[in-house]
Amino acid sequence: MQKTPQSVGIVSAQRAQFDTPLTCQSGFVLSRYELVYETYGMLNADKSNAILICHALSGHHHVAGYYADAPKNIGWWDNMIGPGKPLDTDKFFIIGLNNLGGCHGSTGPSSINPATNKPYGASFPVITVEDWVESQARLADKLGIKQFAAICGGSLGGMQAMQWSLSYPERVRHVLTIASAPRLTAENIAFNDVARNAILTDPDFYGGDFYEHGVVPRRGLRLARMLGHITYLSDDAMADKFGRSLRSGKLSYNYDIEFEIESYLRYQGDKFAAYFDANTYLLMTKALDYFDPAREYNDNLDRAFAGAKADFLVISFSTDWRFSPERSRAIVSALLHNRRNVSYAEIASDHGHDSFLMQHDHYHRVMQAYLDNIASEFTS
Amino acid sequence: MQKTPQSVGIVSAQRAQFDTPLTCQSGFVLSRYELVYETYGMLNADKSNAILICHALSGHHHVAGYYADAPKNIGWWDNMIGPGKPLDTDKFFIIGLNNLGGCHGSTGPSSINPATNKPYGASFPVITVEDWVESQARLADKLGIKQFAAICGGSLGGMQAMQWSLSYPERVRHVLTIASAPRLTAENIAFNDVARNAILTDPDFYGGDFYEHGVVPRRGLRLARMLGHITYLSDDAMADKFGRSLRSGKLSYNYDIEFEIESYLRYQGDKFAAYFDANTYLLMTKALDYFDPAREYNDNLDRAFAGAKADFLVISFSTDWRFSPERSRAIVSALLHNRRNVSYAEIASDHGHDSFLMQHDHYHRVMQAYLDNIASEFTS
């Protein structure tokens, strides 16, 4: 019998401290750092039911449920996680974390550098997907998890899930990579570069050390987010939702907000700029740009995946032009070349790249079926 | 016998002054203004061989040939205009102008307002495609041209060509609209809005009156142009031209230029910001947003074109995602509904929206064939 999907209910964040220095790909050594995380469900006796959720550009550790003191602050993937939901917390022990370099509690550019007692700012290292996997593996060690049942993520999160299968092939049985890509295209990098330049050239950025000036590069962050939103949505979704509707019903012949789409974008930009850290934004886009497992194999993705041992679920969305289905099919092709077990679903959705975050029957049923199958590995 | 295509050679700009007030669509009355223009070829005795070239966002009057004192300053559509070229100056009298509101010599926001003896700046009106057609018609009057053989433009220029057939159906025999659209989509407007916001929020913009502060909102203009360039190119063209090539051959792990595509975009942005007027950029994007002949017909484009009398050539490019072939087909459909003569060509090109400016055999042959046919109307 199908269970009624429920919320995981009240959750709270935890904090883990790591005192073993982490050598980043850049060569920078982070002497110590903290990661903030949440867990949902119970770890079973043999610790075989853990699933790690990796977040995308603006995500964090609060993936499901809500806080006792903030019941409206619901996790960003709450539609996917909970009793009776695809990531079923009656079966799985699910971990969400804020990535190293983030701005939601884990050590990042806005954190105090213990060596200087000032925010890291510009001195915080560029972090790569490989670095994240390393830091996540240490968190798994701390939780006693030797092997994940699955690692799962959308977009940049999907890249981390893939990287797990390359960095730690023995430590992950299933990789779920959603609306992702084996590497960014020149166009993807170009959009990131415009967003970065909006921040880097904001006079309030101060080379990354804006904290000590008591300002925030809001203009730049706002532009970056506005641009991001265009690429997360599909042309059709924008046309359906906003079309050419005018906010006041008539043309104003000035440079104020005129069309509804402008109102939406500026609102999203302002909201984001009010809380997100500019240095974290830069760092996240750079991690996206850098991810490219085929680079060291002379651009041969087949060879890059040669060491992977996991089974894979790859999902793409028809109107996602930022990480198009074609990009997901490249992943599938490379995995099949290596005789991996791969399930692939191309979901018809109007909502572009954002689809991976949204409630969508077909998408959720594909996830549910795949995850039920994983659960049967240890509950049967 | 096919002539060898040649340059029109040395050209020089001319200037026309208009002292009859122009009432803009916004209600603003421009008491007087000047237009800068160039002409190529000879106007025939009955003045029936004139072709007007309308420019796009960053275009101007210098469409073909070069200047005696600047032989490398070649017109922006020189590959299309000259003896033996599709717009054959042995047959046609061709006019290029800088649009009202421009920054290449015609009256615009950076011009001195005779009423104040200061640059117009923020007080310069928003100009619409309809306003441009009105100002262009007055230029035609001054040159004694009652009816154009053709009016021709790409992108925003194509919108002006279309508007001519609606504002002055008796004054244009052929409309050539290339890589254009009957109106912008929400996504198009969204990109324009991000570009505008980059300029509007640049501290050096001073609400449009930066001239008197001796500064230019370079950061904003640069971002606007970088973003524009992404939308002018196709994903494939970027991949082919830049791919993921690194400028220095290795990753730098900082926020300097890393990939070749970043180097290209920043160069384009810097170059543009060094000469283009920020207020003109705003004005041009707003004219794009506003163009929507179907608006007053309850969004019915068929009805909007009911009064058109011209024949049409409509051209689109396969990889143009800014003004996709689908948008051109909407124009064709509305024209056919009104029993207009329409030729339509969808050109396979890798170069996205920029294709309309480039040398391309199939495209140029389509233009040549259509224009030769127009020429036969008055040379036979």
pLDDT in tens, A82-95: 999 999 999 999 99
Q: pLDDT per residue over B85-120, tens digit each?
A: 999 999 999 999 999 999 999 999 999 999 999 999
Enumerate the active-site residues of A. 155, 320, 353
* Cβ atoms of B344 and B365 closer than 8 Å: no
Of chain A residues 123-162, which have a CB less than 8 A from chain B?
125-126
Of chain A residues 236-295, which have a CB less than 8 A from chain B?
238-239, 241-244, 251, 253-255, 258-259, 261-262, 265-266, 269, 282, 286, 289-290, 292, 295
Q: Which residues pair with B259 in a beta bridge?
A: B246
Nearest-angstrom CA–CA distance, A296 and B133: 57
Token representation of residue B49: 């061989």
Contact A189 B262 (CB under 8 A): yes
Residue of chain A whose alpha carbon sits nearest to that of B269: A194
Residues 6+ apart with CB under 8 A from B354: B232, B233
ipTM surpassing 0.90: yes
For the segment B38-58, the average pLDDT, to the nearest whole number, is 97
Contact B200 A255 (CB under 8 A): yes
SS3 label, residue A283 = helix
* Residue B134 confidence (pLDDT): 98
Token representation of residue B345: 């060509």
Between vectors from CA A263 to CA A262 and to CA A265, what angle results, nearest 5°? Answer: 65
Residue B303 has pLDDT above 60, yes or no: yes
Contacts of A238 in chain B (CB under 8 A): 185-187, 190
* Cβ atoms of A141 and A20 closer than 8 Å: no
First to last CA, chain B: 17
Contact A223 B223 (CB under 8 A): yes
Token representation of residue B210: 């930066």
φ, ψ at B151 (rounded to 5°)? -125, 135
Contact B244 A193 (CB under 8 A): no
* Residue A296 confidence (pLDDT): 94
Nearest-angstrom CA–CA distance, A177 and A161: 6
Residue A268 has pLDDT above 90, yes or no: yes
Task: Give residue A150's Cα distance to chain centre.
Answer: 16
**Among B23, B21, B40, residue whose Cα is nearest residue B32:** B21
Mutate to test the interface with B, among A197, A216, A283, A297 (most CBs of B within 10 A): A197
Residues in chain B: 380
Q: Which of A93-102, A247-256, A319-328, B121-130 has the lowest mean pLDDT?
A: A247-256
Q: Give strand ranges (E) for chain A.
A: 14-18, 22-23, 29-30, 33-40, 50-54, 66-67, 70-74, 93-97, 112-113, 118-119, 150-154, 174-178, 311-317, 342-347
Residue of chain B whose alpha carbon sits nearest to that of A235: B187
Contact B265 A200 (CB under 8 A): no
For the segment B262-279, the average pLDDT, to the nearest whole number, is 96
Question: pTM to 2 decimals?
Answer: 0.96
Q: pLDDT per residue over B166-187, tens digit each?
A: 999 999 999 999 999 999 999 9
* Residue B380 confidence (pLDDT): 45
Residue B104 annotated as catalytic: no
**Among A138, A43, A45, residue whose Cα is nearest residue A97:** A138
Q: pLDDT per residue over B198-224, tens digit each?
A: 999 999 999 999 999 999 999 999 999
For the segment B125-152, the average pLDDT, to the nearest whole number, is 98
